[in-house]
Amino acid sequence: MSDKTPTVVLVHGAFADGSSWAGVIEELTSRGIPAQAVANELRGAGIDGNRVAALVREIDGPVVLVGHSYGGAVITTAADQADNVTGLVYVAAFAPDEGESLQDLLGSFPANDFATGLVPHNLPTGDGGEETFLSIALDKFPALFAADVPTAELLGRFQRPIAAAAFEEKSGPASWKRLPVHYLVATGDQAIHPDGQRKMATRANATTIEVDGSHAVAVSQPKAVADLIATAVEATS
């Protein structure tokens, strides 16, 4: 354990950006807990995790990594490459085991309608090829992603798409097997089924809470999310 309060580094998931953590950061900093969000490029947990790890290694002192949705796969990778990570917090997030893809996990959860709202975009790459990215149709974004957020329609209009290949990429070592884990299950989630979240939390031996919220629970209920993160910080301080 360290005498220094861990810095909380927050990693957003697909169809969102760093501003989704604004309310959580405000809550944490008001309690004297240093916190910052990182820009997640949404290209795949390998490259995204490597870059988050590089940023984490620049921080002087312990770090608690927090991931939402796809960001959970990113922090799972990043924590394996940054020795100063002392805990993991998953917020309605993927917590893949080694060799698992996000598609593998989704296929093992109860079915929902989330995939029906995805829209593919073929975008150019730097070498003259194309790469497929996915976004959520604007008319379906509120119900599928942020049903309890009054500004859900606006969130949908500045969502960030994710590379489709990110769902097929196999995860590396599962850092949640050796680090303290906390998990927030969003019981109204229409993206990652709550039963799937419970399954991952149990497998990771996580300290778990359940919150009546949508997939965008960090936006709709920042205090509840911050409460869990503060508990994780205290556990590693």
Summarised one tens digit per residue, pLDDT across range 104-139 is 999 999 999 999 999 999 999 888 889 999 999 999
Q: What is the pLDDT of residues 134-180, one digit of tens each?
A: 999 999 999 999 999 999 999 999 999 999 999 999 999 999 999 99
CA pair distance 202, 121, nearest whole angstrom = 35
pLDDT at 4: 87
- Mean pLDDT throughout 40-56? 97
CA 164 from centre of chain: 16
For the segment 81-99, what is each residue's pLDDT rounded down to a tens digit?
999 999 999 999 999 999 9
Predicted confidence (pLDDT) per residue in 183-237, tens digit: 999 999 999 999 999 999 999 999 999 999 999 999 999 999 999 999 999 998 7
Query: Who contacts 102 (Cβ-Cβ below 8 Å, separation ≥6)?
Result: 70, 73, 94, 96, 166, 167, 168, 169
CB 44 within 8 A of CB 96: no
Report the distance separating Cα 48 and Cα 111, nearest Å: 27
Q: What per-residue confidence (pLDDT) applies to 143?
A: 97
pLDDT at 125: 86
Q: What is the pLDDT of residue 2?
A: 54
Please tell me the distance from the alpha carbon of residue 48 to that of residue 132, in angstroms, as a whole number: 17
Q: How confident is the model at residue 1 (pLDDT cuts 50, 70, 90)?
A: very low
Residue 61, pLDDT above cutoff 90: yes
CA-CA-CA-CA torsion for 67, 69, 182, 203, nearest 10 degrees? -130
- Alpha-carbon radius of gyration of the chain: 16
